[in-house]
Amino acid sequence: MPLTAFETPYLFFTGKGGVGKTSLACATAIRLADAGRRVLLVSTDPASNLDEMLGAELSRLPRPIPGVPGLMALNIDPEAAAEAYRERVLAPYRGQLPEAEVEKFREELSGACTIEIAAFDEFAGLLEETWRQQFDHVVFDTAPTGHTLRLLSLPRAWTHFLDNNIRGASCLGPHSGLTMQRDRFAEALAALSNPQLTTVVLVTRPERASLQEAERTSSELHALGLVHQRLIINAVFRATHPSDAVALAIEDRARQALARMPPALQSLPTEEVPLRGFDMLGIDRLRALLDSAQPPSGAGRLELPPLPTRSLSGLIDELAAPGHGLVLVMGKGGVGKTTLACAIAAELATRGHHVHLSTTDPAAHVASTLEGPLRNLEVSRIDPRAETQAYIEKTLRRREAELDEEGRALLLEDLASPCTEEVAVFHAFSHLVSEARTSFVVLDTAPTGHTLLLLDATGAYHRQLTRNLPPEHMRLLTPLMRLRDPAYTRLLLVTLPETTPVSEAAHLQEDLRRAGIEPWAWLINNSLLATGSQDPLLRERMRAEAEQVVRVVREYGQRVVLVPWMSEEPTGLERLHALASSGAPDEPQPLQGP
């Protein structure tokens, strides 16, 4: 891949979760540094794994990367940024107001909205000219596209709110603090929109859903003014074993997807990066990602004992037994959450249960995965825009009788805040949680960083409500209490049999446990272990995969399901049924090392 493709100071890697954004951002940053450039690598992902990939402990401040002269890296830590923001807002009140009032203000500043605006503030700072004087390139490894588009839309949303808010206060504290950032927001958007300064690198895989997501992202970024775009198609596979049916099927699926590439993507400058047989951990392997020479192979026979992994069919039997409940399907973007949520929901509906399948993921493709209606299955989506509009209309109707014209105008001003979206989405989420009292609700969640922000909102609501309730009303069930109840909520962690996705799922499990939520099962998706492929590259990946399955079974999962790779893309009710029926119910699945 020629370095001339990356000449602008800012390189913005984005795309659907799981396509390899972080790997390619790291590999590009290393290659630029190896060419003598001064490079800063930045992650804006709340669920960042930059530390693990580079083998270095990162912080909010740039740190040099060992083994790569000229390269520094940092993580934008949303929680730390939000805490710094809260302290700036609260500092003038300390000593002036009772501590109880100050703590009340702190609680009001605990929502996901505060985290988002504080994280954007740090992100915007990196687009200032002072950084261009220190570095030749700033390479951004972003969160999955739904979260990233939300981040990039904040400057316009908050600028509009500040232009129309006349009272000097908002849900983020005093108006003056935000007004001081108005110019910074505008400068950040101007830098991103300038083709001389910023290149947007859309990363995709040769897969139908991934290419469709890249097209949507390209269009939405164009609408925001980010028009200087390139496309990287990652993990392109070429079969080398002429009689290996699995290898030929993988290559054929990719060829068909690329043949149907959306026209908007065909017009972009494009590079292809081949599939590699190794995980992208460590500087040597990241260097090899963009080079023809690969690091030494870890080839050799891998002996595995039989492990008590379960079948997906057997797991659905357990889910169906209570007759109702909430099934949360959660994990990093790109691991197959939507497909598995659809397969589980369709199978429960086929068995005669009423099922509501919904999603909080801005980039979800539930309808296109199902490819048709099914009896007993209701499908919906928590659309932030639609939920926000419905919430505003409901609020106005509820308070219409008590408001005069001036009061109504002030209420509309409050509701114009981007924070209203957070509240509206939380209300929709809460309604779905309560619906599982009498039927099944299968919820396909956003990629982990975005989901954790939603759970933060759930926790903040729980704390506020329970703190204000009199003792006689403490039996009221909040959404967080239902999420913590294993008899009510079954949380499924989805991952791929690769080092980084497993590590990210393990970090998510730790976060959930801190919130008092225990994952019910791990689903390891797209496993090649049972295929028996003889293709050398696939065999190399299978060896690495087996190590990760052993790791999950021994260290993390109470229940572990190995979901096989399917020769046909699992879309449509017939193929989803085949996926849900994979494996014999309640039989341990032995693993065989290739």
Which is the catalytic residue, given 15, 16, 45, 489? 45
pLDDT band at 456 (very low <50, low <70, confident <90, very high): low
Active site residue 23: yes
Q: What is the mean pLDDT of residues 382-400?
A: 81
Q: How high is the pLDDT of residue 589?
A: 46
Which is the catalytic residue, given 16, 21, 332, 337? 21
pTM of the model: 0.75
Q: How high is the pLDDT of residue 466?
A: 46
Which is the catalytic residue, given 148, 359, 500, 527? 500
Q: How high is the pLDDT of residue 379?
A: 92
Q: How high is the pLDDT of residue 146?
A: 52
pLDDT greater than 60 at residue 5: yes
Active site residue 18: yes
**What does the pLDDT look like over 477-503, one tens digit per residue?**
567 778 888 999 999 999 998 888 898
Q: How high is the pLDDT of residue 429?
A: 82
Q: What is the mean pLDDT of residues 60-81?
A: 88
pLDDT band at 474 (very low <50, low <70, confident <90, very high): very low
Task: Output DSSP code: residue 471.
Answer: G
Secondary structure (H, E, C), 391-448: HHHHHHHHHHHHCCHHHHHHHHHHHCCCHHHHHHHHHHHHHHHHHCCCCEEEEECCCH
Portion of the chain with pLDDT greater than 70, in percent: 77
pLDDT greater than 80 at residue 540: yes
Q: Nearest CA to 417 among 165, 186, 176?
A: 165
Q: What is the mean pLDDT of residues 25-30?
A: 94
The sign of the CA dihedral 182, 135, 149, 446 is negative
Secondary structure (H, E, C), 86-130: HHHHHHHHECCECHHHHHHHHHHCCCHHHHHHHHHHHHHHCCCHH
Which is the catalytic residue, given 14, 15, 16, 18? 18
- Is the model more confident about 303 or about 526? 526
Active site residue 500: yes
pLDDT band at 531 (very low <50, low <70, confident <90, very high): confident
Q: How high is the pLDDT of residue 296?
A: 42
Q: What is the mean pLDDT of residues 533-539?
A: 87
Q: How high is the pLDDT of residue 591?
A: 47
Q: How high is the pLDDT of residue 437?
A: 92
pLDDT greater than 90 at residue 236: yes
| Residue 288 CA: distances (Å) to CA of 283, 310, 389 | 9, 36, 49
Which is the catalytic residue, given 14, 15, 16, 20? 20
Active site residue 21: yes
pLDDT band at 174 (very low <50, low <70, confident <90, very high): very low
pLDDT greater than 50 at residue 584: no
The sign of the CA dihedral 27, 30, 32, 38 is positive
- Tell me if 7-289 shares its fold with 312-383+434-580: yes
Q: How high is the pLDDT of residue 164?
A: 56
Q: Which of 366-380, 441-455, 504-518, 521-535 has the lowest mean pLDDT?
A: 441-455
- Is the model more confident about 110 or about 216? 216
**What does the pLDDT look like over 134-169, one tens digit per residue?**
999 999 987 655 555 555 666 555 555 555 555 444
Active site residue 22: yes
User: How do the domains of the chain map onto residue ranges?
Assistant: 7-289, 312-383+434-580
pLDDT greater than 70 at residue 304: no
pLDDT greater than 50 at residue 195: yes
**What does the pLDDT look like over 357-371, one tens digit per residue?**
998 776 567 877 888
Which is the catalytic residue, given 15, 16, 17, 22? 22
Q: How high is the pLDDT of residue 306?
A: 63
Q: Nearest CA to 377 among 405, 403, 407, 343?
A: 343
Contacts of 363 (CB under 8 A, 6+ apart): 16, 17, 144, 145, 146, 213, 216, 333, 446
pLDDT band at 387 (very low <50, low <70, confident <90, very high): confident
Q: How high is the pLDDT of residue 149?
A: 57
Active site residue 339: no
Q: What is the mean pLDDT of residues 277-298?
A: 76
Structure tokens at 361: 């993921």
Active site residue 104: no
**What does the pLDDT look like over 176-189, one tens digit per residue?**
445 445 677 778 88
Q: How high is the pLDDT of residue 364?
A: 60
pLDDT greater than 70 at residue 425: yes
Are 330 and 494 a contacting pair, CB within 8 Å?
yes
Distance CA 30, CA 410 (A): 52
CB atoms within 10 A of CB 56: 18
Q: How high is the pLDDT of residue 221?
A: 85
Architecture in CATH of 312-383+434-580? 3-Layer(aba) Sandwich (3.40)
Q: How high is the pLDDT of residue 177?
A: 47
pLDDT greater than 70 at residue 112: no
Q: How high is the pLDDT of residue 266?
A: 92
Summary mean pLDDT of the chain: 80
| Residue 88 CA: distances (Å) to CA of 100, 422, 534 | 18, 22, 60
pLDDT band at 585 (very low <50, low <70, confident <90, very high): very low
pLDDT greater than 90 at residue 525: yes
Task: Output DSSP code: residue 589.
Answer: B
Q: How high is the pLDDT of residue 469?
A: 45
Structure tokens at 47: 């669920």
Which is the catalytic residue, given 14, 15, 23, 420? 23
**What does the pLDDT look like over 320-367, one tens digit per residue?**
999 999 999 988 777 888 899 999 999 999 999 999 999 877 656 787
* Domain 7-289 bears CATH identifier 3.40.50.300: yes
Give me the amino acid identity at 585. Answer: P
